[in-house]
């Protein structure tokens, strides 16, 4: 599924859930949901996130780039007696480096839980409320949407290798698939334009 469709679905869910939940939702929540709904595809060198981060969009650059960040963070946290979350962050970057697209950690429940806890922890440090909920919603939606494609996702990685999909799937990058994604994006955009001014 394309990044813009994932982001669109994330934004749409935020708007739809706004005012219907007991917790007070903030603008920062919208940013976190959008980011979290793009994050699982960080395992793909050509995804939206990597488009802005990687100097060259190929697999080798992705592996080297994220491995270097991970090792630097790990080195720093061990040398300076950094907090445990820094060590976890370092290991996470290394796992991103070695995951090939939709084959590993970032498209699994384990990945979702690790990323969400880290996001919640970092949110606490900066006093941003409810980060973990926003983050899990965005991330979970991404996995759910990818389960709607014919390839599915390795939901139970690393415990089970099998890809899980929904009973109804469509083929990504096929004509029908692209049309379906465009329709979702357009409906989302219209709904957002209609509802957003009332929220902010």
Q: Which stretch binds Zn ion (CB under 5 A): 7-15, 16-24, 33-41, 184-192?
A: 33-41
Q: Within 10 Å of residue 183's Cβ, how many Cβ atoms?
A: 11
The minimum distance between CB 78 and Zn ion, in angstroms, equals 32
Token reading at 30 = 């919208």
Q: Which stretch binds Zn ion (CB under 5 A): 58-66, 144-152, 165-173, 178-186?
A: 144-152
The minimum distance between CB 162 and Zn ion, in angstroms, equals 17
Token reading at 105 = 């950690």
Site residue total, Zn ion (CB under 5 A): 3
Cβ neighbors of 106 (< 8 A, separation 6 or more) are 39, 40, 41, 42, 43, 96, 99, 115
Task: Find, among 151, 157, 196, 142, the residue nearest to 177 by Cα.
Answer: 151
Residue 149 bridge partners (DSSP): 170
The minimum distance between CB 19 and Zn ion, in angstroms, equals 29
Angle at 144 between CA 141 and CA 150, to 5 degrees: 140
The minimum distance between CB 79 and Zn ion, in angstroms, equals 35
* Cβ closest to Zn ion, residue 39 vs residue 74: 39
Q: For Zn ion, which residue of 14, 41, 93, 148 counts as binding (CB under 5 A)?
A: 41
Q: Does 146 bind Zn ion (CB under 5 A)?
A: yes
The minimum distance between CB 143 and Zn ion, in angstroms, equals 8
* Cβ closest to Zn ion, residue 9 vs residue 74: 9
* Cβ closest to Zn ion, residue 40 vs residue 188: 40
Task: Find, among 99, 101, 40, 93, the residue nearest to 67 by Cα.
Answer: 93
Residues in the site for Zn ion, rule: CB under 5 A? 40-41, 146
């Amino acid at each position: 599924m394309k990044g813009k469709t994932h982001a669109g679905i994330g934004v749409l869910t935020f708007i739809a859930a706004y005012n219907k939940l007991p917790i007070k939702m903030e603008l920062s929540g919208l940013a976190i949901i959008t980011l979290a709904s793009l994050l699982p595809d960080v395992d793909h060198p050509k995804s939206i996130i990597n488009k802005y981060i990687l100097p060259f969009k190929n697999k080798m650059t992705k592996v080297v780039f994220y491995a270097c960040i991970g090792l630097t963070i790990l080195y720093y946290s061990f040398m300076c007696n950094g907090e445990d979350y820094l060590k976890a962050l370092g290991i996470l970057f290394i796992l991103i480096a070695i995951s090939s697209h939709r084959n590993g950690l970032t498209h699994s429940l384990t990945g979702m839980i690790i990323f969400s806890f880290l996001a919640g922890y970092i949110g606490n440090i900066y006093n941003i409320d409810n980060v973990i909920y926003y983050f899990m919603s965005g991330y979970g939606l991404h996995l759910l949407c990818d389960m709607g494609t014919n390839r599915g996702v390795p939901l139970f990685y690393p415990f089970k290798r099998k890809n899980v999909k929904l009973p109804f799937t469509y083929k990504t990058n096929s004509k029908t698939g692209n049309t379906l994604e465009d329709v979702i994006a357009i409906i989302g955009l219209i709904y957002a334009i209609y509802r957003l001014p009332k929220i902010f």
